[in-house]
Amino acid sequence: MTIAAAPSIVVVVFPGTWSERDFADLAGALGWEARLVWHTEAELGEADAVVLPGGFAHGDHLRTGALARFSPIMAAVGEFAAAGGPVLGSCNGFQVLTEAGLLPGALLRNDHLEFRCDWQWLRCERGYGPWLGGLEAGDRIRLPISHGEGRYFADEATLDELERSGRVVLRYSDAAGTVTEAANPNGSLRGIAGIVNQRGNVLGLMPHPERAADLELGGDDGLRLFRSLERWLQELPAAAERRL
Amino acid sequence: MRWLAEVHVALRPGIADPEGETIASGLRSLGYDTVSEVRAGKLLRIAFEIDEPAAAEAAVDEMCRRLLANPVMETATWELRADEQQDADPALP
């Protein structure tokens, strides 16, 4: 029997990022290593997974994520993702991933024009990949949302392809897990809250798993993504492959 | 030679534009009953230096494609003109 080393995650920090400490605290509470890496760095260093946190990278000027995609660290994030490394983009991180072309579509201004900060039920459509492997289709999780530009948009052909290939992994739902227009907090097409790339290793979602990591703060469903990742890392056949 | 480009970025036709709809509703509430649609967008005025006119056109086109508009949901149209006051301070209107 071998004891696996604690997972180590890199949390990318752009000027204007605001959720990096929550991710680092969450990792610390799990006994993991977390390293914050400034956006001007060219290398991620050794990492089991990379997180692009929420916030307002580069002030969200021009468009959310539009300037962040040109930050030097994004080339390394792209390489890590291309090698199959687990990448999570939450909120602004999701917006950056779409601008960088690592995920399809775009996040537009909420249909009601309000910034929405609330708890939100989500239905897992497919327990798939490093981040959601510990969930099953139909599972409900409750996570905070906090965004003004979360309306998922892609053209019809792209949406159909995402559905067909099982890459729509999270949808906004009510407490019963039913996807309804009323439960959709921002006008996202087809109620989409989270998608993965073709390989399943890159997850983008508007909600904040890192803000649902402590029952005393309202809920800990966000931990399920990190328990999934832990299991996924342990199941990788060799330590050499773990360190991607 | 100095150039002035005006780049208009807008959501693609057919994509819901709640900001435009809200402005349209504001205009109607002021009595402009015949306003049927407003589409909101961005205007970017860009001053830059480059020698050849063809190179200036190509530069604006590249700026739009690489950064100024996201083709997933936006279109960019632009007008380009030589800055008439070449020797004065940059003349962004």
Domains of chain B: 2-82 (3.30.1280.10)
In A129-168, the residues whose Cβ lies within 8 Å of chain B are 151, 153-155
Judging contacts by C-beta atoms under 8 Å, the chain A residues touching residue B75 are: none
Q: Which CATH superfamily is domain A8-242 in?
A: Class I glutamine amidotransferase (GATase) domain (3.40.50.880)
Determine the residue of chain B that is closest to A155 in CA distance.
B72
The residue-averaged pLDDT of B23-47 equals 97
Judging contacts by C-beta atoms under 8 Å, the chain A residues touching residue B15 are: 108, 153
The residue-averaged pLDDT of A176-184 equals 97
Measure CB to CB from residue B72 to each of A70, A105, A187 and give the nearest one. A105
The residue-averaged pLDDT of A147-167 equals 98
A61 is catalytic: no
Measure CB to CB from residue B73 to each of A110, A111, A153 and give the nearest one. A153
pLDDT at B59 over 80: yes
Is A109 near chain B, with CB under 8 Å? yes
Determine the residue of chain B that is closest to A103 in CA distance.
B72
A147 is catalytic: no
CA distance A69 to A75: 9
pLDDT score, position A2: 45
pLDDT tens column, A84-128: 999 999 999 999 999 999 999 999 999 999 999 999 999 999 998
Picking from A15-24, A129-138, B80-89, which range would have the lowest pLDDT averaged per residue?
A: B80-89
Picking from A2-11, A13-22, A38-47, B59-68, which range would have the lowest pLDDT averaged per residue?
A: A2-11
Q: Is A140 exposed, middle or buried (0-12, 13-18, 19+ CB in 10 A)?
A: middle
Q: Has this prediction a pTM greater than 0.80?
A: yes
Query: Is B18 close to A109, i.e. CB distance below 8 A?
Result: yes
A208 is catalytic: yes
pLDDT at A240 over 80: no
- CA distance to A20, A151, A153, per residue, from B37 (Å): 41, 21, 21
Complex ipTM = 0.87
Confidence of residue B85 (pLDDT cuts 50, 70, 90): confident
The residue-averaged pLDDT of B46-65 equals 96
pLDDT at B50 over 80: yes
pLDDT score, position A243: 47
AA letter at A7: P
| A-B contacts (CB, under 8 Å) | 37
pLDDT score, position A3: 52
Percent of chain A predicted with pLDDT > 90: 93
pLDDT score, position A132: 97
pLDDT score, position B18: 96
Judging contacts by C-beta atoms under 8 Å, the chain B residues touching residue A111 are: 16, 18
Judging contacts by C-beta atoms under 8 Å, the chain B residues touching residue A187 are: 16, 18
AA letter at A179: V
pLDDT score, position B84: 80
Options A20, A91, A125, A230, the catalytic residue:
A91
pLDDT tens column, A209-238: 999 999 999 999 999 999 999 999 998 765
pLDDT score, position B93: 59
pLDDT score, position A140: 98
Q: Which residues contact A170 (CB under 8 A, 6 or more apart)?
A: A122, A123, A124, A125, A132, A192, A193, A194, A195, A205, A207
Q: HSE (CB half, 13 Å, CA atoms) of A161?
A: 11
Closest CA to A152 of A184, A120, A183: A184
pLDDT tens column, A24-35: 999 999 999 999
pLDDT at A244 over 80: no
